[in-house]
Amino acid sequence: MKAIKLILIVITLIGLMICLQPKLIVNTWFLLTEPVNVIPKESSILDFNPTVFNPGSGDWWVYGEDSERYYYFTYEQNKPYIYTLKSRKCNGLIPTDYTTWCVLE
Task: Determine the average pLDDT of the residues in 26-51.
Answer: 86
Beta strands in the chain (DSSP E): 49-53, 61-65, 69-73, 81-85
Number of domains in the chain: 1
Give the pLDDT confidence score for residue 19 in this predicted structure.
64
Per the structure, the complete domain to which residue 93 belongs is given by 2-100
Residue 72 has pLDDT above 90, yes or no: yes
pTM reported for the whole predicted model:
0.75
Which residue from 82, 85, 64 is spatially nearest to 74, judged by alpha carbons? 82
Q: Kindly state whether residue 96 falls inside one of the protein's structural domains.
A: yes
What dihedral angle (degrees, nearest 10) is formed by the CA atoms of 87, 89, 92, 93?
Answer: -20
Name the pLDDT band for 49 (thresholds 50, 70, 90).
very high
Give CA–CA dist 53/56, Å, rounded. Answer: 9
